[in-house]
Homo-oligomer: A and B are copies of this chain.
């Protein structure tokens, strides 16, 4: 047993334990002990693979960011090679609303990190802004492409619309996390808004009233 061990695997295992703990008791409740228990190892081991708690938290954040990026790219790839901008945009934005359980965990913990980063200097310089900024540029590209293809109103300001899209998906994702809205309602709202941006695409043109009342959680 105490032979040579795959460090990366062990680290991933421990980090996953951390994410689970953070997801159901809060990031503030993450301690060396709770992570060790959840991972089924001794505290000493957690210490061994991540020298200090701060490094553990940082490593977990990094892994989180990587996985998020993977999920987005995977989702875009799943739409097929040469899809219309509208579908690509939809795929990207839909990743921001928690669907499956893994996604919910990721977004919850990521949000906890983001809020923490406002006050914690150790997380502050950790670049939370790179990903959203990159996403913004990407969306601007898709929107201008759509404009040139005649799929959307050329008089729109692509950058502003991109920011709006990002904001609405973040806001919807947050409201789902907080239990204010169901996942499917959030998805419906997002699709509605996209329907308004890209008129004449898909089943809904986004201009008719939706038949079903937009139910809230009880």
Contacts and interface: CB of A to CB of B under 8 A. Distances in A.
Interface of A: 23-26, 28-29, 108, 111-112, 114-120, 128-129, 132-133, 153, 155-157, 159-160, 163-164, 166-172, 174-175, 177-181, 185, 188-189, 192-193, 196, 207-210, 213-214, 216-217
Contacts of A133: 180, 216
Contact of A115 (B112, B207, B214): B112
Nearest to A193: B164
Contact of A171 (B24, B166, B192): B166
Assembly stoichiometry (copies): 2
Contacts of A217: 129
B178 A114 contact: yes
9 contacts: A26-B118, A26-B120, A112-B115, A129-B178, A156-B196, A160-B214, A163-B172, A166-B175, A170-B175
A101 to B, nearest CB: 14
B171 A25 contact: no
Q: Is the interface of A mostly helix, strand, loop or mixed?
A: helix
A209 to B, nearest CB: 5
